[in-house]
Amino acid sequence: MTAISAAANLRILGEKITHKFPLDTSSAQVIYRGMHLMIDASVDTVNVVKADGVTAVDGDVFMGIAEENKSVGSGDAETTEISTIVGPTIVGFKSSALTKADTGKPVYMSDSGTLTASNGAYPRIGKLFDVLDGYCFVTLDSPYVLDVP
């Protein structure tokens, strides 16, 4: 599985709620619209990182879905903010991984392009609201402190 490499097409049901969070610059990051963002508590307890490539552990926090493309360099001042779609917004992701039979189940993102109903070392992003026209609509749970089994 790989991370998305361009801005994802997202659909929104109802009202979209956003918030700006500062980006962590302990390493360089290129973030695309549709990536899931989290606080990696073992690195930084305030600033967000893209969750791709991060093994989620207890205490990490899912913060939301990137609404825009953004990049930062390693060691940059931690003043760059990213607009983030937060809960309880219902976000549609182009995916065939889940079906209407999964409605109401927790949804996890194993990388920025892959939804799953299986809990692993992945951030829980919300619950499946519906599946329509090739999109899985997820009611975001954010912020959400992870409890990884």
Q: In the prediction, which pLDDT does 137 show?
A: 98
Is the predicted pLDDT of residue 148 greater than 90, yes or no?
no
Q: What is the pLDDT of residues 123-140, one digit of tens each?
A: 889 999 999 999 999 999
Query: What are 59-106's pLDDT values in tens digits?
Result: 899 999 999 999 999 999 999 999 999 999 999 999 999 999 999 999
pTM for this entry: 0.92
Give strand ranges (E) for the chain: 10-13, 17-22, 29-31, 36-39, 49-50, 61-66, 70-72, 81-86, 90-94, 106-111, 114-116, 124-132, 135-140, 144-145
Higher pLDDT, 102 or 142: 102
Distance between CA 86 and CA 62 in Å, rounded? Answer: 10
Q: pLDDT over 90 for what percent of the chain?
A: 67
> Residue 4: is its pLDDT beyond 90?
no
